[in-house]
Amino acid sequence: MPFSFQFSPQDFAFSFLSILFEGIPFVLLGTMLSGAIDAFLPSRVMTRLLPKNGTAAILLCGGLGLIFPMCECGIVPVIRRLLGKGLPLSCALAYMLSTPIVNPVVILSTYAAFRGQSPELMVFLRLAIGFAVAVAAGFATRTIPARRILNGRVMDLLPEEGKEEDAAPAPAFKDRIRAGLRVATTDFLDVTMYLVIGAILASLFNTGIDQSVILPLAMNPWMATISMMGLAGVLSLCSSSDAFIAATFVTFSGASKLAFLVFGPMMDLKLLFLYGIVFRKRFVLALGAGLFVVIGLICVKLDALPF
Amino acid sequence: MNEKTLRALSSITLLVWGGVLLFFSLSGRIHSFLHPNFRPGAMIAGFALVILAGAYLWATSKSRRHATDCCGHDHKDDSSGPCSPGLGKSPGCCGHDHAGQAAGSRVFSFLILLLPMIAAVVASPDAFGLSTMRNRGIITDLAGLGGAGPSRSGDYLPMPGQGADGVFGDPQASVSDYLPRNAKGHIRAEVVDLIFGTDDEVIRKDFEGNVIEVTGQMFTATENNPGGTRFKLVRMFMMCCAADARPVAIFVENQPGAEVREMGWVKVTGKASFPVASGQRIVVIEATTIEPVEKPEDSMLY
């Protein structure tokens, strides 16, 4: 079937606003949290809270979403501030990538969406692969200098190596509130700008492209997996609802739907821009390519499973 | 443009975003955009943004002032220590550094934040048109719905023995005793409830052979239309927000030669049947009346 694109400004506007209306409350929650973290969490507190053993710390952060669930939009400003409070970059990456998948809301929505399509297996594999890939990304970045991954503005936030904590008297509560509000506002405007750009692109594609063009690809495991990951990237769905969309692609194998469900929450059009407020552009592109290849290979290998 | 103006712009941006969320929430327009579960969050965010707009001005008004004090201080002289004791480290203590954010780029950010959103608020018809429905593919059987449940847009199917008030009464009662009905006693159903009948025999028995009243948009039927007299009656089925909504449809047997007003809203009354076509069970309503109606306030099904 030939590729077709039909642009309707009205449909685009409708889809664009709905993405924003759904995403903004979560972005606001995330940025209020980031303001509170910045104003009230002592510097280097994360270093003290996490296990000293780096491997254990990354594994712990990979599963942190079960206790502190965040969606993919809200987590980005939080991660930026946690890095400023001493959260190691590898741990931050593991938490950022895993929490949109390894969280209770997603477990329930995936189970509900796949009723009659091996829901237990789908939930287990989604969480297991999401956790494993996020943790692997954390390990892979462990030895890379932060300046090659983080953008300049986030580098400026990082606590300086070997520098003692500021001995100045603690500021008044009111001053902390003021500082928190300034940070929350700045973060909100930053993140929302990238969300707007991402929502523009996502709406262009999810209203303009004929989604049936990928249906003939369902028979080939490689093509099915690649096309479902491509679709997840283009549609930029929220991880709490994406399972309901994935489940409707009945001609596709369970493994290719799994690829959709693991890749989408970690990397899509809107995230491509949102990640830019924390990471260097080159790193974001490399991360996207790495996730695409690794998740794709895992899911193609799982294609023989009966689901 | 000085920092005071840029601060005001930040506050105005928050105010506009909060105002738009509140306007859509209070006017009911939000119903077309979000699943009911997400609407309270949008309204709370609207209020919070309006409050934040004022609070941000307060937070930046009484800090140390100088020429570049959008956040109450500048960063040029505090590279060796925190810009405000205990509140973090420069230049990120307030989420930005002045050197890296020229006024031009900040104005550009405000334009990105405001213009597309305002244009979309003006342009959005709060419903999808023909091309997007076609692009998303119209679902006519249960397999295409994934694990979604029956409609919760208005009248949903109660459990056997459960009254309209949700209280369980006669345990011997059947579902059909409690199905919502119109003034003429015809069963009122949603498109998606009927589609559930394609897979669930109990639901199918409640509808099959009975006169059903169902509302939706007309759409030309290009398949499962042997006599050329059928059209699809379509509703959008939403999971979280309109961006993930998919069209679901049943078939309506119309009078020969009757006009199909593409995308027009109609209320169809007729007898329901569930024939098997091309290996799949579909829903067909043999229409006795088809009357044009206004777009419902809740045009989406959930």
Residue A56 has pLDDT above 50, yes or no: yes
CA distance A283 to A289: 10
Neighbours of B6 (CB within 10 A): 18
User: Of B100, B123, B146, which one is at a domain's C-terminal end?
Assistant: B123
Confidence label for B217 from pLDDT (cuts 50, 70 and 90): very high
Residues 62-81 of B with CB under 8 A from A: 62-63, 71-72, 81
Residue that wins the pLDDT comparison between A21 and A251: A21
Phi-psi region of A63 (alpha: psi -120 to 50; beta: other; left: phi over 0): alpha
Pair B9, B53 in one domain: yes
Both tokens of A204, joined, read 């262009």
Beta carbons of A43 and B89 less than 8 Å apart:
yes
Residues of chain B in contact with residue A202, where contact means CB-CB under 8 angstroms, are: 243
Pair B73, B206 in one domain: no
Beta carbons of A237 and B244 less than 8 Å apart:
yes
Residue B177 is predicted with a pLDDT of: 63
The angle at the Cα of B183, spanning B181 to B185, to the nearest 5 degrees, equals 50
Residue B164 has pLDDT above 60, yes or no: no
CA distance A220 to A191: 38
Confidence label for B72 from pLDDT (cuts 50, 70 and 90): very low
Residue that wins the pLDDT comparison between A13 and B256: A13
Indicate which CATH number applies to the domain containing B162. Answer: 2.40.50.140
Beta carbons of B89 and A197 less than 8 Å apart:
no
Residues of chain A in contact with residue B85, where contact means CB-CB under 8 angstroms, are: 166, 168-171
Mutate to test the interface with B, among A26, A178, A231 (most CBs of B within 10 A): A178
Residue that wins the pLDDT comparison between B271 and B202: B271
Residue A205 is predicted with a pLDDT of: 82
Q: What is the DSSP string of B137-156?
A: --B-SGGGGTT--S--SSS-
Mutate to test the interface with B, among A22, A123, A126, A260 (most CBs of B within 10 A): A22
Pair B115, B160 in one domain: no
Alpha-carbon separation of residue A244 from A257, B128, B155, B212 (angstroms)? 11, 19, 22, 28
Q: Does A152 touch chain B (CB under 8 A)?
A: yes
Beta carbons of A18 and B33 less than 8 Å apart:
yes
**Range of B178's domain?**
130-301
Domains in chain B, number: 2
Q: What is the DSSP string of B188-233?
A: E--HHHHHHTTT-HHHHHHHBTSEEEEEEEEEE--SS-TTS-EEEE
The beta-carbon neighbor of B71 closest among A10, A15, A182 is A182
Residue B14 has pLDDT above 70, yes or no: yes
Pair B103, B150 in one domain: no
Q: Please state the ipTM of this predicted complex.
A: 0.82
Residue B115 is predicted with a pLDDT of: 96
Closest-CA distance, B191 to chain A, in angstroms, reads: 17
Pair B152, B281 in one domain: yes
Residues 31-90 of A with CB under 8 A from B: 32, 38-39, 43, 84
Residues of chain A in contact with residue B145, where contact means CB-CB under 8 angstroms, are: 248
The Cβ-side half-sphere exposure at A75, using a 13 Å CA radius, reads 26
Residues of chain B in contact with residue A18, where contact means CB-CB under 8 angstroms, are: 33-34, 241-243
Query: Is residue A276 within 8 Å of A284, Cβ to Cβ?
Result: yes
Residue among A124, A153, A188 nearest B48 (CA): A188
Pair B113, B135 in one domain: no
Span B55-71, average pLDDT: 65
Pair B208, B135 in one domain: yes
Pair B111, B154 in one domain: no
User: Of B97, B123, B149, which one is at a domain's C-terminal end?
Assistant: B123
Q: Where are the domains of chain A?
A: 9-159+173-304
Pair B144, B188 in one domain: yes
Pair B134, B106 in one domain: no
Residue B244 is predicted with a pLDDT of: 85
The angle at the Cα of B277, spanning B276 to B281, to the nearest 5 degrees, equals 40
Beta carbons of B146 and A244 less than 8 Å apart:
yes
Residue B149 is predicted with a pLDDT of: 57
Residue A184 is predicted with a pLDDT of: 93
Residue B50 is predicted with a pLDDT of: 98
User: Of B98, B123, B148, which one is at a domain's C-terminal end?
Assistant: B123
**Highest mean pLDDT pick, A47-56, B12-21, B34-43, B77-86:** B12-21
Pair B137, B275 in one domain: yes
Residue B212 has pLDDT above 60, yes or no: yes
Mean residue pLDDT across chain A = 89
Residue that wins the pLDDT comparison between B140 and A59: A59
